[in-house]
Structure 1
Amino acid sequence: MTEVYEYLFLGGLNIVTEEFLKLNQIRNVVTVDIELPDIDLTSLNIQHKHIQLTDEENSLLFPYFPETTDWLINAIQNKQNSLVHCRHGVSRSATIVIAVLMKLLNQTYQTTLDQIKVNHSSACPNPGFINQLALWKILDYKIQNGHKNYRLFKFQTGYIAEQEQNNENESIASEFGFKCGKCRKRIFDSSDLIPHKAEWWRDFSTDNLCNKSYCLIPKPWMELKEDVDQGKLNCRCGNKLGSFTLQNYVCIQCSCGEESRGPTILVNPARVDKYKINHV
């Protein structure tokens, strides 16, 4: 067990005992594990959050960052001691604590990890959690529904945020729009374009876009079937726009020669018409 920051403790399941909690005047506990501690926290007047998650690279902790970090930061600011723990105090709980301090101190992942390791040397988030902390920094420690990295995160991981509503009319500033070459319906914008091999945990905002095919983040109107290795993307009017895959083991090759593996959408520029959007 370690006090990694004032009023914030990090550890494993072995320290979640009545003796420890009373001795350190813990008022809030976050459990990041499948199982709960074998202790009645409510009888000790302790507020408790339980995040049911295994320590695997494809486990998603990011969706829990906003609410949990705000809760713990509020406790710190009110001088209440909080404990974040998982089974061993190494990966899952360390990830939550790093997310808290990144937001509280406006720091990068590495700076925060180095700070924690001074007193808790075993802190070591798995690679998947490290990527999610990189996204946390890119998004400025909050959910930004229209941000390309967040949209790509949801697409490539299959994460569905129930509280978020898909809205085809969502207002996102775009320089260009693209209409179907057949029915003339506006089907996507420049804000939906991404480079080949874009990764949601990396800032790709300055990367060059391909003009041989348009690589897209999905739009709500697209009907992407999960039961095919590589499907055809059609406009609602039937115009054949391009191809897609939702499978991590499938590669789609652009006419430029670049291959993209995993969830990918490619549109043939010859099937759409580009136009400049005039903002009032």
Structure 2
Amino acid sequence: MALIDRVPGDVNLYIGGMFTLRRRDALQQANITHVLSVLRLPLDQNLFSPFKQHMVVEVDDVDDENLLEHFPATNRFIQNGLDSGGGVLVHCAMGKSRSATCVMAYLMQKHNISPAQALSHVRQARSICEPNEGFMKQLELYGQMQMPDNVEDTPAYQRWVYLREVELSRACGQAPEAEKIRFEDEHVTDASADFELRCRKCRRPLATSQYLISHGSATPVIEEETEETPAVSPSRNCAHYFLDPLSWMRPELEQGKTEGRLECPKCHTNVGKYAWQGMQCSCSEWMLPAISLAKGRVDEVRKSVAEIRRPPGTAAAPPHPSRQNL
């Protein structure tokens, strides 16, 4: 039986716990030159003196710890160690959750595989590997993001961080800090949409379909349209459209209130409400956070491609001078 656990494959990648570091002969035989420590415990630096490079990622083994932000750096460290011709040991306290997560992230990027496939592969080396639920969700998000070299610039990651901040604020009974609210229309570059929502009173565009959050039976059904007829039939069981924060909501959402109402920025009609602590839709689904437009206060309208690609609230281009007098 091997004294240290080698991940199957043609590279010298190993996984273990703290006790693995005391198996000096086995580590030397495996030509371990790089060690990645993924834990927050005080470390005896004498244990790492035999190795060329040592990297520490200080995280706890808890669901809400952000290990995702470290994946690019840990992947580079592992790859650099392997490229140098040496062996790499990734360890945490027990060699079960944190170390497994980092090895899985590396395998996912290296071989373009899913979290489930990566976990199955790691378990061939160390059967007790079991990332906690939060880390597994982060690995799933990492896969959905296509394992980028820079996760922090990825919209999906930024949105995930924003939702974590909302959840933390909710747990404290507070609204998110103003500078941490993510106004989605300021970040999304793809402005394509199937339809838009207009204020029923003044017809001011308030949102387009790509900012809606699907829930329950709230998925709209596209129907035939006329110029003034809604292009999408309202879902029968839901009285609200839930959506991401949009820039026209900024004056209200940055006040630090946990809940309030949303007014059309043009005619100041009450068009919806928000509750950072969450609220239950009429379809019985609980939404968190809850930022909504009331279906009775807005219309769904399918527009031309040129109009839909125009950001909500911006004016249409003026008519051509040659057509003004027609």
TM-score calculated relative to the size of structure 1: 0.75
Aligned pair partner of 1:154 in 155, 161, 168: 161
What percent identity do the matched residue pairs reach?
Answer: 29
Q: Structure 1 stretch 63-72 or stretch 110-119: which is displaced more? A: 63-72
CA contact (8 A) 1:155 1:263 kept: no
Aligned pair partner of 2:106 in 76, 82, 100: 100
Q: What is the match of residue 7 of structure 2?
A: 4
The 2-side partners of 1:136 and 1:25 are apart by 30
CA contact (8 A) 2:7 2:14 kept: yes
Q: Which has the larger radius of gyration?
A: 2
Q: Are positions 1:194 and 2:213 aligned together?
A: yes
CA contact (8 A) 1:32 1:86 kept: yes
1:77–1:106 CA distance, 2 compared to 1 (3 A): farther
Aligned pair partner of 1:129 in 135, 142, 151: 135
Cα offset, 1:122, TM superposition: 0.8
Cα offset, 1:87, TM superposition: 1.1
1:253–1:167 CA distance, 2 compared to 1 (3 A): closer
Q: What is the match of residue 231 of structure 1?
A: 260
CA offsets per residue over residues 119-178 of structure 1, 9 Å max, x none?
A: 20110111111111111222221247344xx45523332289x9x998726422422455
SS in 1 for 2:274: strand
1:2–1:42 CA distance, 2 compared to 1 (3 A): closer
Amino acid at match of 1:93: S
CA contact (8 A) 1:33 1:51 kept: yes
- C-alpha RMSD over aligned residues: 3.8
Q: What is the match of residue 263 of structure 1?
A: 289
Aligned pair partner of 1:85 in 91, 94, 119: 91
The 2-side partners of 1:185 and 1:170 are apart by 21
Q: What is the match of residue 229 of structure 2?
A: none
Aligned pair partner of 1:214 in 232, 241, 257: 241
CA contact (8 A) 2:184 2:244 kept: no
Q: Are positions 1:15 and 2:20 aligned together?
A: yes
CA offsets per residue over residues 241-269 of structure 1, 9 Å max, x none?
A: 4223333xx4x2334x2322432322224
Q: How many residues align?
A: 265
CA contact (8 A) 2:197 2:208 kept: yes
SS in 2 for 1:265: strand
Cα offset, 1:214, TM superposition: 2.1
CA contact (8 A) 2:184 2:211 kept: no
Q: What is the match of residue 202 of structure 1?
A: none
Amino acid at match of 1:190: S
The 2-side partners of 1:12 and 1:67 are apart by 20
SS in 2 for 1:232: strand
CA contact (8 A) 2:5 2:126 kept: yes
Gaps of at least 5 residues in structure 2 are 167-176, 221-233, 311-326
Amino acid at match of 1:3: R
The 2-side partners of 1:38 and 1:23 are apart by 22
SS in 2 for 1:16: helix
The 2-side partners of 1:98 and 1:226 are apart by 42
CA contact (8 A) 1:225 1:231 kept: no
* Larger helix share, 1 or 2: 2
Amino acid at match of 1:242: G
SS in 2 for 1:158: helix
Q: What is the match of residue 321 of structure 2?
A: none
